[in-house]
Structure 1
Amino acid sequence: MDLLNRYRLLMVLMHTGFLGNLVVIYYLSKGLSYAQIGLATALTAWGIVLLEVPTGIVGDRVSRKLSVLIGLTLNAIATVVLIFLSGFAMLLLYALLMALGIAFVSGSLQAWLFDTMRHLGREREFREFMKGTKSLTIPVSALTLLIGAFLAQLYGFTLPLVLSFIVEVAMIILALSIPEYGFEPVRESYGKHTLGAFRELFSGRIFPLVAVSILVSLETNQFRKFFEPYLGKVLAVYLGTTITGTLGLLGIAEVTVRTLPKFIGVRIRDSWSLRLYSVAPVLIPILTVLSVLYKNPLWIVLLGVVATVVSTAFQFNIAIELQHRLPSEKRATILSADSMVSALTMGSFYTVYGFAVNALGLEKARLVFALGLLALGLLVKALEVLGPLKNSLELEHVS
């Protein structure tokens, strides 16, 4: 198989998921509370905070391929823990393993790919390559999620989790077959390299992009966090059944909201993609507010579709822009530092949001947090229009 096609297949398999966010219902079926789920999610995020830069150093100083292989192996082990999940302690163990796995893969995978394309003299094709790859990951993700949702409804959650483990083992074998080209290990000391990466991350050229990206991620995650039980309760009322009886329909909704619209967000014309990039910080929290004000299943799914299209277009443009702005010798570490700052923010958010849902109820917490994020989005747009953020947020790779 062609070298770049092996990368593409690896990325497709990495986006294969038989449960997606339906795993929250699996947690609830095991007797776990929203607060416990929020804490476990926060542990994963905080674990990434502690591990992102050290694992990024592995990618820059030792081998990007090795870093990815370690991460994929840890993800497979985490899935085994999830299959035998019993109680909060095992959920925390799963969360910690996921943090390690994500940290080792984050930064190193795209840096590995970008270095290879540069070695082949094809780095200018990176944007189109990623577009083509995401065009494949989205339908595969949608199909496997649908299969997993109906398998979970008919046979329980164990079967889709076992299928996930099989795919993860296949990813390890595939990654082993891909050579590493164009990698030059960094020779400077760990401390100097790390400090240099953080200085670059917090520079005026990089940090405004990172900060707005984190804000839009918060807005998107707030729309999606506990979305499945929220929609499941609305569906259960409409259909006169239990939330477990809606798993198949929730799988369809998950595909409709989270996967298929990503295809639109990636493949949309560049002119529309840039418009969505511009309005994302304000539009996404407005969609969350609307999902609370009118509780109709089809309306909520439609809003989710729009939110995913907008978020995907925004994050796709940000990811490509960062690859073009970052220096090669620190790319993996800077991307890991970016993920670390993002994870610190997300971890704090998940903890507060989980307890807020327990205290206020899912509907009220959803509305309150959306309004707060909308205020921040409006502030960003004001700073962009008035000038302070205008140049920083302008996409250079499409200029």
Structure 2
Amino acid sequence: MPALPSPRRVQGTYYVLTLGNTLAASFIWGINTLFLLDAGLTNLEAFAANAFYTVGVLLFEIPTGVVADTLGRRASYLLGTLTLAVTTVLYWLLWVWESPFWAWALVSVLLGLGFTFFTGAVDAWLVDALQAAGYEGSLETVFGRSLIVSGAAMLSGSVLGGFIAQVTDLGVPFLIRAGVLLAMIVVAGLLMRDLGFQPDRSEGPIRATRTVLRASWRHGLGNAPVRWLLLASPFTAGVGFYVFYALQPHLLELWGDPNAYTVAGLAAALLSGASMLGGAIAPLVRRLFRHRTSTILLATVMSIVVLVALGLVQDFWVAIGLVALWGVMSAIDDPVHRAYLNDLIPSKQRATVLSFDSLLGSAGSTAFQPALGRSADIGGYGFSLLLSGAISAVAVPFVLLSRAQHDPADTQRDVDAEAPVPTDRPPTTGTAVPTERPGSTD
């Protein structure tokens, strides 16, 4: 029987997967809308294609979570990577052929399918593998480091994608994206194994889906601390998608030059850097509080304050500082939120419940983005950011309700965040280790 990998190697594999996924996705973030318009779509059709991507996420989020819990997390990752690689090439072909809108809509739905294979599966794989390897450290530390990795990949990929498109054409970054995804299939095939989790293949797919969904409902919405945290997602993640896209034209308005595209790119660069900083300090902030929900509440309330301030201020440089602060607060919340949620969910249903959390965030995005966009048409981007802060505030009572359940996961600390990551050790029993990306082609 082969020896179990060390906790350090498990983390290294996770960071490599995070790096590859984010780098591939970010190659097209800065040019996706230009790419769709260059293919002959109207503005309405281009943004409708993005909407069909969200439809794909909503349709397939739970079924692909079931795949991860029944066929395995590694199988789900490989299926998702292959699906995204193929559909990215199809996107490029639609651009070459100047295809009709219905074809773009269909492929966008399939892109959503590919993305949903990832959500839940990769985090579930990490937590199970760390526990099997005997890791006794803090999940916040691991997830925080992954934010540093993804932030660096996002910054590099966005800049490189724009530069490559400028010196070649808008289609080349999509081909590079497909190439990176194919390379990640090889990497995951060599490095990724389902550790600490045994997929149950004894049932047929339909019966297995029913079984996993029933159990996931019990451990998800049927479990009070998880339920309240899940119900907060539409109001935080949903608003976050809108704010990410609205900041660019809002900053251009404050700058006073609608053609200053470098300024628009500053928002993405700022949020990438803020993600790296927030991921680095999240474990330190967590150490200041006894409860994980205290850290989540701090990040949520500060984000609300920042959004309201962004809606009111008219000074460009003050807004830049607020954008950076919003990014840091979001990044501090992310690893603590994911660690808390993972600690609340049993291994067998982990991927499906995490996928359901992502589904609720996507549902919030689908509902709030058109409404907030319309509010920007009526009252300007500042007004829409004020509304974004108000919508985000609805999440606060749900976080407080989760805290009120006094679940042990809320005070789980494991070891000091500064402690070194343990190396090779035998697996332990018990509970030593107790969640992009934006754009239609994420």
Q: Smaller-chain TM-score range?
A: 0.7 to 0.9
- Structure 2 residue 49 is matched with structure 1 residue 15: no
Q: State which of 42, 62, 66 in structure 1 corresponds to 2:71.
A: 62
Q: Could you tell me which amino acid in structure 1 is paired with residue 225 of structure 2?
A: R
Residues 134-181 of structure 1, C-alpha deviation per residue, up to 9 Å, x if partnerless?
Answer: 323322321222222233344442233232222111111111112332
- Identify which of 6, 17, 23 aligns with 2:13: 6
Q: CA separation of 1:230/1:156 partners in 2, compared to 1, >3 Å: closer, same or farther? A: farther
Conserved 8 A contact 1:43-1:347: no
Q: Choose from 340, 348, 369 the match for 1:321.
A: 340
Q: Does residue 182 of the first structure (1) align with residue 215 of the second (2)? A: no
* Identity among equivalent pairs (%): 21
CA 1:325 to 1:160, structure 2 compared with 1: closer, same or farther past 3 Å?
Answer: same
Among 187, 203, 206, the alignment partner of 2:226 is 206
Between the aligned partners of 2:249 and 2:28, the Cα distance in structure 1 is 14
- The range that moved more, 107-116 or 127-136, is 127-136
Letter of the 1:135 partner, please give it: I
AA at the equivalent of 2:12: N
Q: Distance in 1 between matches of 2:34 and 2:372?
A: 17
Offset, 1:250: 3.5
Q: Secondary structure at the match of 2:224?
A: coil
Residue type matched to 1:206 in 2?
V
TM-superposed deviation, 1:369: 4.0
Aligned match for 1:251, one of 257, 265, 276: 265
1:222 aligns with 2:255: no
Q: Structure 1 residues 374, 130: closer, same or farther in 2, change over 3 A?
A: closer
Contact 1:219-1:370 at 8 Å conserved across structures: no
RMSD between aligned alpha carbons? Answer: 3.1
Q: How does 1:131-146 map to 2 (within 5 A)?
A: 131-146=144-159
Check whether the contact 2:226–2:402 (CA below 8 A) recurs between aligned residues: no
- Matched letter for residue 311 of structure 1: S
- Structure 2: any 5+ residue segments left out of the alignment? 415-442
Tell me: CA distance 1:295–1:29, structure 2 relative to 1, closer, same or farther (3 Å). farther
Which residue of structure 1 aligns with residue 108 of structure 2? Answer: 95
Counterparts of 1:344 and 1:139, CA distance in 2? 28
Partner of residue 285 from structure 2, selected from 272, 276, 300? 272
Structure 1 length as normaliser, TM-score?
A: 0.84
Stretches of structure 1 that go unaligned for 5 or more consecutive residues are: none
Amino acid in the other structure paired with 1:205 = P
Counterpart AA for 1:107: G
Post-superposition offset of 1:339 = 2.0
Structure 2 residue matching 1:122: 3-state secondary structure: coil
Q: What letter corresponds to residue 183 of structure 1 in structure 2? A: F
The one-letter code of the counterpart of 2:13 is R
Question: 1:107·1:332 contact (CA, 8 Å) conserved in 2?
Answer: yes
Give the whole-Å Cα distance in 2 for the aligned partners of 1:226 and 1:90. 27
Deviation (angstroms), 1:105: 1.3
Counterpart residue identity of residue 177, structure 1: L
Give the one of 306, 325, 329 matched to 1:306: 325
Kept in 2, the 8 Å contact 1:206–1:322? The answer is yes
Distance change (3 Å), C-alpha of 1:169 and 1:298: farther
Task: Answer whether contact 1:142 1:259 (CA < 8 A) is retained.
Answer: yes
Encode CA deviations 1:355-378: one digit per residue, 9 max, x unaligned: x27xx62x7364444334433444
Q: Which amino acid aligns with 1:308?
A: G
Q: Cα distance 1:341–1:174, how it changes in 2: closer, same or farther (>3 A)?
A: same
SS in 2 for 1:205: helix
Displacement, 1:320?
A: 0.9
Pick from 387, 396, 399 the counterpart of residue 411 of structure 2.
396
Q: In 1, Cα distance between the equivalents of 2:212 and 2:165? A: 46
Matched residue, 1:76? 85
Cα offset, 1:291, TM superposition? 3.6
Distance change (3 Å), C-alpha of 1:281 and 1:40:
farther
The structure in which a higher percent of residues are helix is 1
Paired with 2:49 and 2:305, the residues of 1 have a C-alpha distance of 28
Query: What letter corresponds to residue 268 of structure 2 in structure 1?
Result: E
Match of 1:110 among 119, 123, 127: 123
Flag the 1:39–1:56 CA change in 2: closer, same or farther, 3 A: same
Residue of structure 2 aligned with 1:47, choices 56, 61, 65: 56
Q: Once the 2 structures are TM-superposed, how far is the Cα of residue 347 of structure 1 from its aligned partner?
A: 2.0
Letter in 2 for 1:335: L
Q: How many residue pairs are counted as aligned between the two chains?
A: 386
In 2, the alpha carbon distance for the partners of 1:40 and 1:393 equals: 43
CA distance in 1 between counterparts of 2:398 and 2:220 reads: 20
Q: Deviations 1:244-267 (Å, cap 9, x if unpaired)?
A: xx44554344112x2110011111
1: distance between equivalents of 2:343 and 2:309?
36
- More displaced 10-residue stretch of structure 1: 26-35 or 215-224: 26-35
SS state at 2:225 partner: coil
Shift in Å at residue 103 of structure 1?
A: 1.2
- How far has the Cα of 1:21 moved from its partner? 4.7
**1:151 is matched with which residue?**
164
- What is the alpha-carbon distance in structure 1 between the residues aligned to residue 143 and residue 396 of structure 2? 28
